[in-house]
Amino acid sequence: MNAPTHPITPERIMQFAWAYAPPLVIEAAVRHRVFDLLAERPLTVPALAEASGASARGIAAIANMLVGLGLLTRNDAGAYALTPESDTFLVSHHPAFVGGIFRHVSRQLLPNWLQLTDVVGSGKPAESVNRIDDGMPFFIDLVEDIFPLSYPATQVLAGALHLARAEAPVSVLDLAAGSGVWGIGLAQASPQVRVRAVDWPDVLPVTHRIADRFGLADRLTTVAGDLLEADFGQGHQVATLGHILHSEGVERSRALLRRAHAALAPGGTIAIAEFLVDEDRRGPVSGLIFAVNMLVNTEAGNTYSFTEIAGWLTEAGFTDPRQLAAPGPSPLILATRP
């Protein structure tokens, strides 16, 4: 007998038609403090509306959808409560909070994506956020909210580098520092760590402010400028490139890796965080989505495979390109200056 076949339906495709809805609903909930308020106790729609200052109609609509998404629960008395997932990641005062990225969906990210059809036709981005004029306001608003996305990986990297056992000074070159998360995470591992953070001039005050919040501002030196022109210094034991190659494109990335190689001491390690894709570019889907994000927002950006980046590292003079499993969209890539 032939095996039964399932009919082909448009259900999955029709779900894509509304795929913009979940991030916008989460953004509305974050902005109206829904998750923060429910962290205190379960609340009904009237109580949530009163506490948040939002309309009861609006709160009911998004709260019910969040139940459908598995991010809230609702009991028989109509009181909404957090799930373990939303309690961990969407309450703003909890250490693993990642909800900050959703604050940027409707006002920064989505407007450029709405121009995708034209971008595909012309090959030109809606906005060049990797250029200082367009990018500086964008990143000033963004970098602090994405700090929690990279912080867990910095702890894994610090362990792999054995920084807690350092008996001599360790100089870390944090390239495109942004929030300073990579330098901060490594500096927390040892009082021996000093950080040289490089970024655009108006972003660096944010770096300083966050480092000060962690009590590490006295171990931070900042250098303003473009990554292919700024003074990296020399003799560093570690260089970090946290989610920056994807915005630079192939040629600038290769040049940047050569500059990083020259700035490291012999035996120094470069650590790269990226949205990696498979060599045949069939997945993972997060990396493929981010490649389109780079099409929309940069002149030459893309996402790359480990093999591609490893080839650039070898070309720049590094040895032993390798992957380090770490929390995040992809493993970290490490290599050594011989």
Give residue limits of the domains in the chain. Answer: 11-97, 132-336
Q: What percent of the chain has pLDDT over 90?
A: 90
Task: Return the amino acid letter for 65.
Answer: M
Whole-Å CA distances, 239 to 172, 213, 257, 278, 285: 6, 23, 10, 25, 28
Give me the mean pLDDT over the 9-30 stretch: 95
Enumerate residues 6+ apart whose C-beta is below 8 A from 322.
Answer: 333, 334, 335
Tally Cβ neighbours within 10 Å of residue 279: 11
Give me the mean pLDDT over the 130-137 stretch: 74
Q: What is the CATH number of domain 132-336?
A: 3.40.50.150
Domain 11-97 = CATH 1.10.10.10: yes
Give me the mean pLDDT over the 311-335 stretch: 97
- 50-87 pLDDT, tens digit per residue, is 999 999 999 999 999 999 999 999 999 999 999 999 99
Enumerate residues 6+ apart whose C-beta is below 8 A from 78.
Answer: 44, 45
**Banded pLDDT at 129 (limits 50, 70, 90):** confident
- Alpha-carbon distance 15 to 23, whole Å? 14
Mean pLDDT is lowest, of 138-152, 163-177, 234-248, for 138-152
- Alpha-carbon distance 209 to 187, whole Å? 15
> How big is the chain by its Cα radius of gyration, in Å?
22
Most distant CA pair in the chain, distance = 75
Question: What pLDDT, on a 0 to 100 scale, did the predictor assign at position 277?
Answer: 97
Give me the mean pLDDT over the 165-183 stretch: 97
Give the sign of the dihedral formed by CA 14, CA 16, CA 19, CA 20.
negative
